[in-house]
């Protein structure tokens, strides 16, 4: 069987299947000089760069949406009939 590369790109999307270490995980998620998205330390694709303030905005918005979704489930009755008017 041919030796396959553990890291690289396929169709422009990065992948990395090397065994992750704590140092590599930390350095992957905290890159102050890079943008909002950085390559994942393990797996396929990109992840958020926690050194970028935009990533924290994305996490805050996702948290608020999750909170309102879970809170809204208790307030909305699902058994009430719905009237539909068609002209």
- Domain range annotation of the chain: 7-74
| Residue 26 CA: distances (Å) to CA of 21, 49, 63 | 9, 10, 23
Residues 41-57 pLDDT 10s: 888 999 999 999 999 99
The pLDDT assigned to 53 comes to 93
Residue 64, pLDDT score = 94
Token pair recorded at residue 29: 């998620």
pTM for this predicted structure: 0.64
CA proximity to 39, closest of 30, 51, 47: 47
Q: How many CB atoms lie within 10 A of CB 5?
A: 10
Tens-place pLDDT, residues 7-51: 888 898 888 888 888 888 888 889 898 889 998 888 899 999 999
Q: How much is the pLDDT for 18?
A: 86
What does the pLDDT read at residue 78? 66
């Amino acid at each position: 069987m041919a030796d396959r590369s553990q890291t690289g790109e396929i169709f422009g999307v990065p992948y990395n299947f090397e065994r992750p270490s704590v140092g590599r995980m930390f350095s992957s998620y905290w890159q102050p000089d890079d943008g909002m998205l950085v390559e994942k330390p393990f797996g396929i694709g990109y992840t958020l760069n926690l050194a970028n303030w935009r990533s924290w905005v994305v996490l805050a918005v996702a948290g608020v949406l999750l909170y309102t979704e879970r809170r809204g489930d208790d307030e909305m009755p699902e058994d009430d009939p719905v009237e539909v008017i068609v002209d």
